[in-house]
Structure 1
Amino acid sequence: MRKGIPNLAALQVFEAAARHESFTRAADELALTQSAVCRQVAALETRLGVALFLRIKKRVVLTPHGRHYAVQIRKSLERIERDTLELMAQRGVGRVLELAVVPTFASQWLIPRLPQFRALRPDITVNLSIRTEPFLFSDSPFDAAVYFGRSVWPGTQGALLFQEGNAVPVCSPALLADCGPLTRERLVEMPLLHLSTRPDAWRDWFRGHGLGEDARAVRGPRYELFTMLSSAVFAGMGVALMPEILIADELASGRLTAPLDMPLASDAGYYLVAPDAVANDEPFVALSQWLMSLVPQSSPVDQEA
């Protein structure tokens, strides 16, 4: 028995009362009496040793501690509900994998291929959530992750799926309509667009092509997601560094142009990892083996993030 955890019924009552900031409305929602809600909340406050509500005449208002606790409890209750519904849906058969992924890899590479895995393993449900920054598995609900980097995360087991390859300066043809062919010197005077998760890309390109430490390398707007960066390039807002394997179709169709054959080489790639406690679980092993079987069959154009 976990002695530090309050009664689940009391937490449900508190969450409803906090959400409505009303004992009366919480009682209506939970089919309880108002006095029963008051007793549950009072018992929880006594248990915690912290005031969760301020009683102001006939109103109740969350204290700062109560407001923070309500957010955390709501997340926990939602997770319990989701896990319960998933178990009921599976009727005790099969497994669910919570997979954290970088967004472009998920939308343009993984999701189009997932029907193959579903046909192969209908007993395994793969839920996808976006994460663009590193995280600790111990502080998250995830079983595994696909991320962009240069090595396997400490405390995990996994493998490199594939490397990204070269990135090249690209822009909309409309942006070049009035300025003609670009030289290296002219390109660096144009608006440069940046991906927030790769803040040093243009600086690395400047150094790699003999421009040294130049303040122009950090100028220009930053975009959190690759899809946002792509939209900005299509809109003619500037020049971005994009991996060739991500934009082969756009370059072939003429929607984008690479004005200079001056790539930025990268040794980074997309890794699939899981914490040690999950790495040998059969569902993760099955997903890992299936993903690795796809990589040799993918052409360089298909192997995009």
Structure 2
Amino acid sequence: MVLRPDWLPALSAFESAARHQNFAHAAEELNLTASAVSHHVRKLESRLGVSLFQRHARGVTLTAEGRRLADASGSALADMEGALRTLRGDRDEEHRVRITTLHSLAYTWLLPRLPDFAAKHPRIRLAFDTETALTRFDEGGPDLGIRHGPGHWSGLSSHRLMDETLFPVASPRMAAFETIKAPADIAHVPLILDHARQGWHDWFRFAGVHGAALNEHYSFSDTTDALQAAVVGIGAALAREHVVVPYLRDGRLVELPGPRMSARWGYHVVYPSHRRLRPAAQVFVDWLLSAPVD
């Protein structure tokens, strides 16, 4: 039997009625009346020469033949919907760039710069993932990432975005703020840590403070949370130059006495070496690498 185009409305009505087990609900979904759905189903039954539903006072239930057709029609329509989503998605994805990065960098460094990108490239849509887990660049995953590290990752092309320095900061509201006159004084206040590999011990050694018993009182997995903890005045944090800028600018945090220490690691733009960046992703990478870091 050849499936003719004029069967499609009846099949669509039947599939919806079979899924809902209710003509009225199918009618609501299809923006039809219940009698129109019933008419389509009876027309289909007449053409096939079988009963697809058992009708009773409480509603309808599928017959064995109806169940077979419901399974086939549901699967076929799902395949068609999937194909339509893919075709629409391919068009949408042409102008979408997916980026994985650190929450702290996105919040304080990247977001303030995005209006410039939006003005220059209004058609490109950006999707950010700031989960702490290291994201894999599988098919369907992010196009690129901004990572903090040594700059060498297996299977990834890497471009250095910017270096950073580390230095201590605190809120003027911190109880012991006025007592801090030299780097050694910082060792006596509660210290706030993030999960970076370079931390307070490295900075005190760089500042020439040796043998101090450090009061590492608070620890956070994200640098933004560590800085916010310093803002509320519970201790001093070791700030990253580019991430701390908005906090220093509005006076929520103040740089404490002591040297700025160059960090061993910097920020890098990375993407899979085995595949070429899509044009929209390449535009975003070019913009990142040309953006002022200060």
| TM-score between the two structures when normalised by the length of structure 1 | 0.61
Q: Which residue of 2 aligns with 1:293?
A: 290
SS of residue matched to 1:128: strand
Q: Which residue of 1 aligns with 2:271?
A: 274
Q: Which residue of 2 aligns with 1:255?
A: 252
Contact in 2 for aligned 1:159/1:271 (Cα 8 Å): yes
SS of residue matched to 2:146: strand
Q: What is the CA-CA distance between 1:156 and the residue it aligns to?
A: 0.9
Q: Which residue of 1 aligns with 2:42?
A: none
> Runs of 5+ in structure 1 lacking a partner?
1-24, 41-79
Provide the rounded CA distance (Å) in 1 between the counterparts of 2:267 and 2:277.
Answer: 20
Q: Which residue of 2 aligns with 1:234?
A: 231
- RMSD (Å), alpha carbons: 3.9
Contact in 1 for aligned 2:109/2:242 (Cα 8 Å): no
Provide the rounded CA distance (Å) in 2 between the counterparts of 1:122 and 1:204.
Answer: 44
SS of residue matched to 2:112: helix
| Equivalent residue in structure 1 for 2:200, among 194, 199, 202 | 202
Q: Which residue of 2 aligns with 1:246?
A: 243
Q: Which residue of 2 aligns with 1:129?
A: 129
SS of residue matched to 1:168: strand
Q: Which residue of 1 aligns with 2:154?
A: 154
Q: Residues 234-291 of structure 1: CA distance to partner in whole angstroms, max 9, x if unpaired?
A: 1111011002343345435543222312222214222111112334432222221122
Provide the rounded CA distance (Å) in 2 between the counterparts of 1:117 and 1:87.
Answer: 27
Provide the rounded CA distance (Å) in 2 between the counterparts of 1:104 and 1:178.
Answer: 25
Shift of the 102–213 alpha-carbon distance from structure 1 to 2, 3 Å rule, reads farther
Shift of the 146–27 alpha-carbon distance from structure 1 to 2, 3 Å rule, reads farther
Q: How is 1:1-305 mapped onto 2 (pairs within 5 angstroms)? A: 88=88, 91=91, 94-138=94-138, 141-164=141-164, 166-176=165-175, 179-196=178-195, 198-212=196-210, 216=214, 219-251=216-248, 253-294=250-291, 298=292, 302=294
Provide the rounded CA distance (Å) in 1 between the counterparts of 2:62 and 2:258.
Answer: 72
Q: What is the CA-CA distance between 1:192 and the residue it aligns to?
A: 0.4
Identity rate, percent:
25
> Runs of 5+ in structure 2 lacking a partner?
1-18, 30-59, 69-80
Provide the rounded CA distance (Å) in 2 between the counterparts of 1:95 and 1:268.
Answer: 32
Q: Residues 74-125 of structure 1: CA distance to partner in whole angstroms, max 9, x if unpaired?
A: xxxxxx98x9768637746833222111112222332333344344444432
Shift of the 256–95 alpha-carbon distance from structure 1 to 2, 3 Å rule, reads closer
Contact in 2 for aligned 1:163/1:270 (Cα 8 Å): yes
Contact in 2 for aligned 1:93/1:123 (Cα 8 Å): no
Q: Which amino acid aligns with 2:223?
A: F
Provide the rounded CA distance (Å) in 1 between the counterparts of 2:259 and 2:187.
Answer: 12
Provide the rounded CA distance (Å) in 2 between the counterparts of 1:273 and 1:35.
Answer: 57
Q: Which residue of 2 aligns with 1:45?
A: none
Shift of the 251–116 alpha-carbon distance from structure 1 to 2, 3 Å rule, reads closer
Shift of the 238–86 alpha-carbon distance from structure 1 to 2, 3 Å rule, reads farther
| TM-score between the two structures when normalised by the length of structure 2 | 0.63
Q: Residues 118-141 of structure 1: CA distance to partner in whole angstroms, max 9, x if unpaired?
A: 444444322111133433323872
Q: Which amino acid aligns with 1:224?
A: S
SS of residue matched to 1:135: coil
Q: Which amino acid aligns with 1:171?
A: A
Q: Which amino acid aligns with 1:153?
A: W
SS of residue matched to 2:153: coil
Provide the rounded CA distance (Å) in 2 between the counterparts of 1:281 and 1:272.
Answer: 15
Provide the rounded CA distance (Å) in 2 between the counterparts of 1:177 and 1:103.
Answer: 30
Contact in 2 for aligned 1:206/1:213 (Cα 8 Å): no
SS of residue matched to 1:175: coil
SS of residue matched to 1:138: coil
Provide the rounded CA distance (Å) in 2 between the counterparts of 1:262 and 1:34.
Answer: 78
* Number of aligned residues: 230
Shift of the 214–134 alpha-carbon distance from structure 1 to 2, 3 Å rule, reads farther
